[in-house]
Amino acid sequence: MIKRTCVAVAAWAVFAAGTAGGADVRSLTKELFAVPSTTGNEDMLAAKVRGLLPRGAAVEEGRLGTIAVRFRGAPGPTLLLAALDGYGHMVSGITPDGYLTLDRPVPPPHARFDAYLLGQPVVISTARGPVRGVVSQPALHLLTPERRKTLVEGFSLENAFVDIGVRSEAEARAKGVEVLDAVTFPAVLTELAGDKWAGPGLGLKAVAAALVAVAESLAAAPPSDDTVIAWAAQTKFAARGRGARPAVGAAQAKGQWQPVRTVVVDVAAAGRGEGSPVLGRGPIFIEPKDGPSALRQAFEAAADKAGLPRQSLAAADSPLAMPFAAAPSEVLTVALPVQFLNTPSEVVDLKDVQALRDLLAAFLTKGEGR
């Protein structure tokens, strides 16, 4: 079981924040990036999103910690859905001499995910606030070649210990550290050339920021259809069953809002060679296996009318999209391209984030994309 931690929360050619009458996705991304959010510990980010939503917005909540804003219109809701939670680690134990051991709340996104921890600073989100630590690493030049190879190439959570500067389990607990507290990389944002930013989990936070900006736009110009924008919790948990299993948070959102059409707003790996999406060329339309749909054609029309760039990628349905794929409802995944996805150095292009916001707003605005 995952513990919920209640912590105080603290244009296309020339990119300019807030173009097309929208909110400042640059500042929104920075604000959300600073808030840790792993599966089972989404409370802080949900609270932050709530605080950024337009004043007087009709906020709704799901049972698992999902947060949403609803704009009432014609019957048959359109749902925009993004993930609230990202990958990370948690405290699994405290040794007698005060070191923290680690585990994962959900399976990792790839086999080398844990190895990024070696020798790196981390933040433990406790009920009393953040506690900083570092994953211990011996001096490699003092190790035998065999031991060095085992440690670097065979690193696992079994030999990961977090040093928070204390000398006993009692001192660690006195700082507020408890088993199941979330452990994440520090939210260090690196600003690169060409309006690119880098940081751990940045893609997820940029998508969440784009949806907040869309909500601000819709508050000023409400859509004609009943529209729900949701940030779903516990999307890295798979629902029970055999075969391909949908994300728990997405299945809960489907049951709560019963959308006629759903736009899953996700992230997708970029920069992987020929045929792969690239940064700076706009949002990615994930092509369904059964060919173009009316929903995708409507999005393409909205993008063309607004003069926005887009990319395409053929891929299987994601766990986020699965619950919405059954007829008669329609689902489309629109993704933000992210370079070095699921590493501590995810890179996004702010032009893509702004284009994503503009595309979603154009589709939902009355008379466009229909």
pLDDT of residue 317: 79
**Which of 189, 203, 225, 208 lies closest to 298 in space, CA to CA?**
225
Sign of the dihedral defined by the CA atoms of residues 358, 363, 364, 365, in that order? positive
Rounded to 10°, the helix 350-364/202-220 angle is 40
- Helices and strands counted in the chain (H then E): 8, 17
Greater confidence (5 vs 212) lies with: 212
Planar angle of CA 233, 250, 105, nearest 5 degrees: 45
What does the pLDDT average to over 116-126?
A: 95
How buried is 47 (Cβ within 10 angstroms: 0-12 exposed, 13-18 middle, 19+ buried)?
A: middle
Q: Are both 155 and 266 inside the same structural domain?
A: no
Classify 119 in phi/psi space as left (phi over 0), alpha (psi -120 to 50) or beta.
Answer: left
* Percentage of the residues of the chain whose pLDDT score is greater than 90: 68
Same domain, 208 and 70: yes
Mean pLDDT of 146-174: 85
Average pLDDT of every residue of the chain: 87
Residues 160 and 267 in one domain: no
Domain region containing 74: 19-86+201-364
**Could you read off the pLDDT of 286-316 as tens digits, one per residue?**
976 666 688 999 999 999 999 999 999 988 7
Q: Are residues 157 and 269 in the same domain?
A: no
* Residue where a domain stops, chosen among 131, 155, 184: 184
Locate the DSSP E strands across 239-345: 261-270, 284-287, 311-314, 330-339
Phi/psi at 157 (nearest 5 deg)?
Answer: -65, -15
CA distances 173 to 8, 41, 84, 125, 178, Å, are: 18, 19, 28, 13, 6
Is residue 178 packed enough to be buried (19+ CB in 10 Å), middle (13-18) or exposed (0-12)? middle
Residue 174 sits in a domain whose CATH number is 2.40.30.40
**In a shared domain, residues 247 and 295:** yes
Mean of the pLDDT values across residues 10-39? 69
Cis peptide bond N-terminal to 96, omega within 30: no
The answer to the question of residue 8 being in a domain is no
How confident is residue 139, by pLDDT bands cut at 50, 70 and 90?
low
